[in-house]
Amino acid sequence: MLKINNLFKYYNTNKSNEIKAVDGVTLELEGKGLVVLLGKSGCGKSTLLNVLGGLDVFNSGEVTIDDKTFSKYNAKELDELRNRKIGYVFQNYNLIPDITVSENLKISLDLAGIVDNQKERIEYALDLVGLAKYQNRYPQNLSGGQQQRVGIARAIVKNPEILIADEPTGNLDDTNTVAVMRILKGLSKHCLVIMVTHEENLADYYADRIIRLADGKVVSDEINESNATLDHRSKDVIYLGDLERNDVTLGGLNMEFFGEHNAKANIKIVSYDNKLYIKIDTDKVVNIVDEDSSIKLTEEKYTVKEKNEDEAELDLDKLTATERKKTHAIDYKRTCKNVLNDFLATRGQRRKNRFRTMFLCSLIFVLLVAANAGSLVYNEFAYKPHDSNVICINAKESDVAKMGLDGRVVNKGVNVSVTISAGASPFESQASLGNASNVGVLPASIFGIALDEGEVKVDKLLYDRGIKNTSLSDVGIVLPEQLIGMRLDIDNKIYGSVYYYPEGNEEDYYNKPTAYTETVVTDEPLYLTIVGLENRNEPLVYVSDADYERLYTLENYVYKDANTFFYANNPRKTIKELEDKGIKATSYATYVKKIFYKTSIATHVISLLVIVLLLVVQLIGVYKLTKSRFIAAQKKFAIMRTIGVPKNQLVLNAFFESLYIFSLSSFRGWLFSSVVVIAADNMSVINTLENLIGTQIIYYPVWLALASLAVMAVFSVLVALLTPLTYLTRTPAKLISNYDV
């Protein structure tokens, strides 16, 4: 049952060109029979039909489909009702072009949830419309009349309660019009058929009820009691009874000649050697009529059809649905196959090239990530701060000294580089254990370790690192014990400028023009002997108090960033204490991390921008590729939506499509470069090079590989869904209206 109550639908609401397409219509359509909505073009027939059929929004009023009343368009609920109850037939047939006739019908069954005996049902429905032989044809290989009959078969295969047809004969010639109307009329014995037309004669002859519309209003609504006849002479039937007849029987020749008055034909017929030769001497077109030709000869005279004479006998019992199951109507595999075709295409270069672009961008993206991440990703291991007790106080050392804090000032920000000399000079080779950013030098006394001047202990962590990056094994050290007795040099060079204050007063630097900066000259390195290893798992070397003092005697080495490093016996308590005084203090770990990001991001701005750019180019590629694919399949999309394919299935389809596109483009680039990067990372050449230049060339752990893949995939899929998601906000009626003629 379909009902609408005081329904209004406007186009261009509240604009100067507002159109009241449906203007307060109340209708009740029930039971069976053929209801015809009749009216001039533009009077609102299609609009009304679309709202009735749950295909479009409306401004006010109510639509009731089968006991369910809607006061506003609800795509999800309406789709479900539509799929079970309503079949649609369109003026433009709207068959899905890239699948066969029977696959077109299958979608309808899937949507209705009818999964049993699909094959038999499809064959039967096609048989009802006289197209049993055309199951495996593609729609474009059928004539308009045949396509429309497939359209009807698609609607009736699910045995709908209501069939909605908007000008189903609008594109058909007289013969096909009658053929389609015969079927619709036959169908109306089993269900409610609501048809829109502007052809009065069709309405008069076939309709059970005629509803006339004008300017969006119902102007009459009557049972059709006219005894109209139908004068539809088919061009495919030749009525021999209407022609003059002359028979010729001469010897073995037996010939019937039919023609209009005084028709002539000069024909020579030769029977020779068991073959028949016909020579025709005429300027007329010659047609052979045999079993396959569309022209039919009938001995009858043409007569107009009397009322109720022309309707097909349809038995729809076999199409009754016994059980319903939820299934997906979209063949997702086919979607992927179509993507593959674009990817492999020899034609459609543009799409193919997009795949290539995305592949290359993703490839370079990964290479850049791997090449930059080492210095961009904060690595707790490599940058493990010297000691968890060390805190960084935002105050001058002299002030910190006066605060009476529990602990001692330990570091004045001197750059150190720690090297080990193995072997005897002058042939000694050197191995670096690190520099100020990843190795700390602390007085051993803090940890209760007794050391004499000139002695040093090394944390085992430094040994492990040296083994890992092969700098130790390269100089022949393979056991931690080998370190003992070796010479360790601590180089306390300072590179760069240091502010020098003539009066020792910072203010003077800014006020007096005599202030100047100076590069500090190198001090002698400390030469120490390794006497043992410590197992604190901190990146530290431990020196005697005396050596520590020597390292940090030069006042000028102090960085004037007003940060003082302090070894606190109870760091948390000290930080709190300082905070209470309004002095900023952080753990050394936080300080190092902050400095790291500040400097590494600043020095990698260009790389970062290129990485982002590569991602963006990929995303533009995905967007353009999916959009162009979408536009090519837009009509299909609109048809699917109109015949009831739910939004979520279409979104899911777009999702699979984008994933597959991703796997053929960006994913391949990722895979390719990941393999290359991982292989290179394990090559000793690269490791040697890394030690030589002192930085990591490749940093590409599993998490980073997966993260870069995830970032590309997530963004790609989101971008790919943009087009279909915006498109899906439109109603089916709006989508399909683009394809109306």
Instruction: Pull the structure tokens for residue 364.
Output: 């370079």
Q: Which is nearer to Mg ion, 169 or 574 (CB)?
A: 169
Contact call for residue 142 and ligand ADP (CB under 6 A):
no
Strands laid side by side in the 19-29 sheet: 19-29, 2-11, 60-65, 68-70
The binder of 583, among Mg ion, ligand ADP, none, by C-beta within 5 to 8 A per type, is: none
Site for ligand ADP in 521-550 (CB under 6 A): none
The binder of 44, among Mg ion, ligand ADP, none, by C-beta within 5 to 8 A per type, is: ligand ADP
Site for ligand ADP in 39-98 (CB under 6 A): 39, 41-47
Q: Mind spelling out the 3-state secondary structure of 370-434? A: HHHHHHHCCCCCCCCCCCCCEEEECCCHHHHHCCCCCEEEEECCCCCEEEEEECCCCCCEEEEEE
Q: Which is nearer to ligand ADP, 579 or 740 (CB)?
A: 740
- Segment contacting Mg ion by CB under 5 A, of 40-48, 453-461, 623-631, 683-691: 40-48
Rounded-to-10 torsion of CA 647, 652, 653, 655: 130
CA-CA-CA-CA torsion sign (59, 60, 66, 68): positive
Contact call for residue 46 and Mg ion (CB under 5 A):
yes
The binder of 42, among Mg ion, ligand ADP, none, by C-beta within 5 to 8 A per type, is: ligand ADP
**Phi, then psi, of 586 in degrees rounded to 5:** -130, 165
Contact call for residue 224 and Mg ion (CB under 5 A):
no
Q: Which is nearer to ligand ADP, 216 or 621 (CB)?
A: 216
Q: Which is nearer to ligand ADP, 45 or 190 (CB)?
A: 45
Instruction: Pull the structure tokens for residue 292.
Output: 């396959």
Cα-to-chain-centroid distance, residue 168: 36
Give the residue from 295, 289, 169 showing the smallest Cα distance to 230.
169
Taking the C-alpha atoms of residue 327 and residue 314, their distance in angstroms, rounded to an integer, is 28
Q: Which is nearer to Mg ion, 46 or 92 (CB)?
A: 46
Give the residue from 721, 740, 732 showing the smallest Cα distance to 638.
732
Residue nearest to Mg ion (CB): 46
At closest approach, how far in Å is the CB of 166 from Mg ion? Answer: 6
At closest approach, how far in Å is the CB of 68 from ligand ADP? Answer: 24
> From residue 37, how far is each of 48, 128, 560, 693, 694 by CA, in Å?
9, 25, 90, 84, 84
At closest approach, how far in Å is the CB of 36 from ligand ADP? Answer: 13
At closest approach, how far in Å is the CB of 46 from Mg ion? Answer: 3
At closest approach, how far in Å is the CB of 162 from ligand ADP? Answer: 19
Taking the C-alpha atoms of residue 45 and residue 25, their distance in angstroms, rounded to an integer, is 11
At closest approach, how far in Å is the CB of 45 from ligand ADP? Answer: 3
At closest approach, how far in Å is the CB of 81 from Mg ion? Answer: 23
Site for ligand ADP in 5-34 (CB under 6 A): 11-12, 19, 21
At closest approach, how far in Å is the CB of 167 from Mg ion? Answer: 6
Contact call for residue 83 and Mg ion (CB under 5 A):
no
Site for ligand ADP in 31-50 (CB under 6 A): 39, 41-47
Q: Quick one: 464 exposed, middle or buried, by C-beta within 10 A (0-12, 13-18, 19+)?
A: middle
Q: Which is nearer to ligand ADP, 19 or 620 (CB)?
A: 19
For residue 533, what is the enclosing H or E element? strand 526-534
Rg (CA), the chain: 44
- Segment contacting Mg ion by CB under 5 A, of 44-52, 350-358, 378-386, 633-641: 44-52
Q: For binding to ligand ADP (CB under 6 A), which residues are involved?
A: 11-12, 19, 21, 39, 41-47, 737
The binding site for Mg ion (CB under 5 A) comprises: 46
